[in-house]
Amino acid sequence: MSSRRGRIFFRALRLRCPHCGERGVFRHWFAMHDHCTHCGISLASGNSVGANLLNLLLAELILVAVLTGLVVLTWPEPPWDLLQFGAPVLMVIAPLAFFPLSRALFVAIDLAMHPQALPDRPAHGIGSQLT
Ligand SMILES: [Zn+2]
């Protein structure tokens, strides 16, 4: 992985703009701005399906890891009652908790796969005065 791609994913993991690294790409926990308020790169175009799929994948992988770890650590007497009721609760909470991370990571994946894409509109500078 190139250092540019690593930097893009590191910024996304910190819930910052993958392109410029600035904060403020989320309006609230469940919604991103359409464009980065600093660099103007598009954050919304066509990424909701992929981001939701990534969110579900992350949540399910974490659920399997937590449940497997709990069973392994407590073997031969796993807490089956806790697993029976805790797993469905975790299945609901995990996708909600990882929603912004999956959105930011999917923008980073898109940016890493299409590095030639330029911001749709510049937020600052000379170009912002032309629109
Ligand atoms: Zn930005």
Whether residue 83 is contained in a domain is answered as: yes
pLDDT for position 1: 64
In the Cβ-directed half-sphere of 46, how many Cα atoms lie within 13 Å?
Answer: 3
- Cα-to-centroid distance, 34 and ligand 1 (Å): 11
Whether residue 73 is contained in a domain is answered as: yes
**Tokens 């994946």 -> residue:** 109
Per-residue pLDDT averaged across 109-122, rounded?
A: 70
pLDDT in tens, 46-96: 568 888 999 999 999 999 999 999 999 999 999 999 999 999 999 999 999
Maximum CA extent, the chain = 69
Number of domains in the chain: 1
Which domain, by its residues, includes 70?
A: 3-19+46-119
pLDDT for position 116: 62
- Cα-to-centroid distance, 121 and ligand 1 (Å): 11
Q: How far is it, in rounded angstroms, from Cα 95 to Cα 102?
A: 9
CB 106 within 8 A of CB 44: no
Determine the number of helices (DSSP H) and then strands (DSSP E) in the chain: 4, 2
Range with the poorest average pLDDT among 61-70, 95-104, 113-122: 113-122
Whether residue 65 is contained in a domain is answered as: yes
